[in-house]
Amino acid sequence: MKSIVIHTQDSTYPVIVGEDAINELLGILKNLEPSKVLVVTDTNVDRLYSDFLIDKIRPTYTICKYVINSGEEAKSFDVFYDVQTFALKQQLDRKSVVIAFGGGVVGDLTGFVAATYMRGIPYIQVPTTLLAHDSAVGGKVAINHPEGKNMIGAFYQPKAVVYDSKFLKSLPVTELRSGFAEVIKHSLIKSESFYEFLVKEIQQLEDITSERLQRMILEGIQIKADVVTIDERELGLREILNFGHTLGHAVEAEAGYGKLSHGDCVAIGMLFATWLSNKLLQADLPYRELKTWFATIGFPVEVPDSYTNEQLIAKMVKDKKTKSNQIKMILLERIGETTSATFSKEELQSLLNEWREQERGESVD
């Protein structure tokens, strides 16, 4: 078990990672002295692990539980409102603590509930997916809107992140792959040695052993922690964490949230951003090798044919980094070094069309 400390302008908190990390939860709650604890989870995690978690803390604290449906559709205003209503009926006060027990959807939604309930009460992230190694750290909490992903939210740091790796053992393959995309992203933007480790050691998801998984989680979190410490509110450096997400979020929104996994969409976005980096920056990135590796792992490597470039650009214009209709994308100068570029709608649509035409119908060797 290892611990990383996150430092931001407003707070300092631990991220505890490893087998049996959940045993640290009682000590964290003791420091917060909660009047009541609300556990928010989803139907899948509730079925597998809720009793285990609640039994850890029930003898000491008054607990209530709210279960949302599994899936991206739960990151909605209606569900957010329902959780707020439940918290009010349970008479949570400003000394109450909320525990987000689940994956990225639960973490984002619950964090936004905590950020806005009585203008902000403490919350703790207890992630249960690999994808949540990214979303649980850094304090970006939000819900989706039909017009865009994570458009309604806040920057609100948790009091702690308790990442017990045994919760990941029950992950479906699709969820493991989705989280692995964010691990790859962290390596591409910040660590060539980490990227080389991933390519060498993990050629298929079955290669993710417990030892490799712990290294992936720790290195991914450390990279994000280093970025968030410098730029908590995404005013500059933190934008590099959006590598692959400009097109990725557009594909995800066009599909309808939950139809394609977040990680699968980000994988497509990273391929486009890598191709674009080579084309515009003359970067010598291993685009073909990356595409082959992604296909071997099981990621989609092309935008579905049914999504038009016009539809995707319309979604990309709504990205949070877009200003005055100039679409900003994070690119790579080399593995581990990022830059950015801005495009008009017409420029990016032309480039997107060129990439899709070039890749369409091509088989991956």
pLDDT digits (tens, 9 = 90+) for 267-313: 999 999 999 999 999 999 999 999 999 999 999 999 999 999 999 99
Which parts are annotated binding residues for NAD(+)?
70-75, 104-108, 128-129, 140, 149
Residue 67 has pLDDT above 70, yes or no: yes
186 is catalytic: no
- Please say whether the dihedral angle defined by the alpha carbons of residues 30, 33, 34 and 35, taken in this order, is positive or negative: positive
Output the pLDDT for position 41. Answer: 98
pLDDT digits (tens, 9 = 90+) for 158-188: 999 999 988 998 899 999 999 999 999 999 9
Output the pLDDT for position 34. Answer: 97
24 is catalytic: no
Whether 347 and 309 have beta carbons less than 8 Å apart is answered as no
7 is catalytic: no
Average pLDDT, the chain: 92
* Residue 99 backbone dihedrals phi, psi, to 5 degrees: -110, 120
238 is catalytic: yes
Output the pLDDT for position 235. Answer: 65
**Model confidence band, residue 364 (pLDDT cutoffs 50, 70, 90):** very low
224 is catalytic: yes
- In the chain, CATH 1.20.1090.10 covers 173-359
Report which of 128, 135, 131 is spatially closest to residue 216, judged by C-alpha positions. 131
215 is catalytic: no
Q: What CATH architecture is 173-359? A: Up-down Bundle (1.20)
Given the residues 190, 249, 291, 320, select the one marked as catalytic: 249
Q: Please compute the mean of the pLDDT values over residues 55-66 and round it to a whole number.
A: 94
pLDDT digits (tens, 9 = 90+) for 94-120: 999 999 999 999 999 999 999 999 999
309 is catalytic: no
CATH number assigned to the domain covering 2-170:
3.40.50.1970
pLDDT digits (tens, 9 = 90+) for 177-235: 999 999 999 999 999 999 999 999 999 999 998 889 989 999 999 998 888 888 777 66
Which parts are annotated binding residues?
70-75, 104-108, 128-129, 140, 149, 182, 245, 262
Output the pLDDT for position 361. Answer: 64
pLDDT digits (tens, 9 = 90+) for 9-54: 878 999 999 889 999 999 999 999 999 999 999 999 999 999 999 9
- In the chain, CATH 3.40.50.1970 covers 2-170
Which residues are CB-neighbours of 257 under 8 A, at least 6 positions away? 72, 73, 75, 144, 149
145 is catalytic: no
Given the residues 133, 159, 177, 224, select the one marked as catalytic: 224
Output the pLDDT for position 362. Answer: 64
